């Protein structure tokens, strides 16, 4: 089973920045698309971003596009989410998740980290 | 964007009951639908992918069906550990979207 461990969550002021990391324990990290999903307090799951296996193609939710940047370092088995210009609406637990089988499209998010808490407040 | 609407949003049931949760998509998504279970303080756990394929390790009392715009998750005989929140997710197109969730509680 693949292990995913997020880090970097913190309390940050509105307008601030934060960098989340996700360390993935598998030697085939470079074979998988990777994702970020968040859950705000009292709300449901919200997809945030996806990056393909090579790191070339990236996708974002409208709510974060232009403020968040996803990247990966396949040599270090690490997924990154750079978050800028944070607002209260970004307060959430952020999960990294590995995509399942991907043909023309992916089938699922089959492994998840335990999440890291981001709180945006003055 | 493809909207997913789950029903019901809240369900009260007893151990041993058979329950069905429905997920309706605002447009056709073929079979690019997954189901997740989330318990308080825990990460989501994949149960079903490609609409009806049981994830390795998921109990066989869980089953999925449907294609196009209407999908169901069935739990054949509720166990105490099944009381949780369930989400459907479409992966047919970006932005990927989740249903609003169905909270399953013990009656």
Digit-coded pLDDT (tens) for A25-70: 987 999 999 999 999 999 999 999 999 999 999 999 999 999 999 9
Q: How far apart are CA A23 and CA B44, in angstroms?
A: 18
Tell me which residues of chain A, numbers 41 to 100, contact chain B at a CB-CB cutoff of 8 Å.
44-47, 50, 59-62, 95, 97, 100
Q: How far apart are CA A122 and CA A24, in angstroms?
A: 32
Q: Do B43 and A112 touch (CB under 8 A)?
A: yes
Cα nearest neighbour of A113 on chain B: B43
Q: Check if the beta carbon of residue B65 is closer than 8 Å to that of residue B51.
A: yes
- Of the candidates A37, A52, A61, A49, the residue with the CA atom closest to the CA atom of residue A104: A52
Residue A102 DSSP one-character state: B
Q: How far apart are CA B3 and CA B14, in angstroms?
A: 30
CA distance to partner chain B, nearest, from residue A108 (Å): 6
Partner A contacted by B67 (CB < 8 A):
no
Q: Check if the beta carbon of residue B90 is closer than 8 Å to that of residue B96.
A: yes
pLDDT in the model for residue B65: 98
pLDDT in the model for residue A1: 79
Q: How far apart are CA B80 and CA A21, in angstroms?
A: 35
Q: Do B94 and A45 touch (CB under 8 A)?
A: no
- Of the candidates A122, A46, A37, the residue with the CA atom closest to the CA atom of residue A87: A122
H-helix or E-strand containing B23? strand B19-25
- Of the candidates A5, A22, A100, A6, the residue with the CA atom closest to the CA atom of residue B36: A100
Digit-coded pLDDT (tens) for B19-67: 999 999 999 999 999 999 999 999 999 999 999 999 999 999 999 999 9
């Amino acid at each position: 089973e693949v292990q995913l461990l997020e880090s970097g969550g913190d309390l940050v002021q509105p307008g601030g920045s934060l960098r989340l990391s996700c360390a993935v324990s598998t030697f085939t990290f470079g074979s998988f698309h990777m994702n970020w999903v968040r859950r705000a307090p009292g709300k449901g799951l919200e997809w945030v971003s996806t990056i393909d296996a090579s790191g070339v193609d990236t996708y974002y939710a409208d709510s974060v596009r232009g403020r968040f940047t996803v990247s990966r370092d396949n040599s270090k088995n690490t997924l990154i989410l750079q978050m800028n210009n944070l607002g209260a609406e970004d307060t959430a637990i952020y999960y990294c998740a590995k995509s399942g089988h991907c043909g023309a499209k992916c089938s699922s998010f089959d492994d998840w980290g335990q999440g890291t808490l981001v709180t945006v407040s003055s | 964007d493809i909207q997913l609407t789950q029903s019901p949003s809240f369900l009260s049931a007893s151990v041993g009951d058979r329950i069905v949760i429905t997920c309706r998509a605002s447009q056709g998504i073929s079979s690019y639908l997954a189901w997740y279970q989330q318990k308080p303080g825990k990460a989501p756990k994949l149960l079903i992918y490609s609409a009806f394929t049981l994830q390795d390790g998921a109990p066989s009392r869980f089953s999925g069906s449907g294609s196009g715009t209407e999908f169901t998750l069935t739990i054949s005989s509720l166990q105490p550990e099944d009381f949780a929140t369930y989400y459907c997710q479409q992966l047919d197109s970006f932005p990927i979207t989740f249903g609003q969730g169905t909270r399953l509680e013990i009656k």
